[in-house]
Amino acid sequence: MADLRRYRTIVSDSALWADFRIRDGDVVISTPAKCGTTWMQMLCGLLILDTADFGRPLTELSPWLDAVTFDTAAILAELESQQHRRFVKTHTPLDGLPFEAGVTYVCVARDPRDAMLSFENAVANMHPDAVASAGLPPEVSQPPSPDPLERFWLWAEADFAPESATFGVTLANLVHHVRTFWERRDDPRVALFHYADLKADLPGQLRRLATALSIEASPRRIDHLAAAATFDRMRERADELAPGVDANLWRNNKDFFRSGTSGKWLDLLDPAAIERYTRRVAELAPPELAEWLHTGWSGRR
């Protein structure tokens, strides 16, 4: 772990990976916040367990290993006891994770503007009692400014910071996270997905995931499993599938799956602001990555 970059925020610390005993076949789901983490956990669970009936909350099957707001010893013990193929959640980029043979590393990207607005909705939905019980400062559930455009530019123009006194959710951090996967996308251990592609063709993307995980499934089975992972179906099961349900993290579990829509930033940014944002992205990512990050494969010309 000494040669890995350390990522630390008020809710996570990548150093906690040091005590995790990796097994062949493990799946590490590493995504920026609000880019489809729970969705990918659901898809991995469907394929690995070959059922939509998990019998327990998804967050127990696929815990957030390096979260400091949970009992790390209990999480490690739970993972050690699991007999099925393990699939573990993290928001740590690839350069902060042990990169081992026999492990599949899955990342999901999303248009950063959609991720930013989705994160704001999630923060607004956090229950104050859960924030207090986790030992987090009350201001984490409050926006830093009442002006949404000002908040957008604070997010967009902040510097990259692997260690942050807040959640560490900025445009620079998001782009860096995806870039650590993008630069190793030809490695057979890496599987890179995009939120827009999952929305456009969920069965097709589930088939891609099955291939990445070396899981055989018939087209009929893929269609059946994909039907359990639509946004509406997952929202119906929010009490089982939303992260943090065991800690009563949300005011409303269903509101964690608020809408799943894209493009709401168009109501916030005028053409001049979009141009300014585009220039900022160009400072953070090469052109090919920048285009893919905002469109996925299905939306590229």
Q: Would you name the residues annotated as active-site residues?
A: 91
Q: Please report, for residues 46, 214, 255, the alpha-carbon distance to residue 119 in angstroms, rounded to integers and kept in the order given.
A: 25, 32, 12
Give the Cα separation of 178 and 213 in Å (integer). 20
* 33 CB neighbour count, 10 Å cutoff: 21
Distant-in-sequence, close-in-space partners of 144: CB < 8 Å, separation ≥ 6 = 151, 154
What single-letter amino acid sits at 192? Answer: L
Name the pairing type of β-strands 87-90 and 190-194.
unpaired
| Separation CA 26–CA 15 (nearest Å) | 19
With tokens 């590393």, the residue in question is: 105
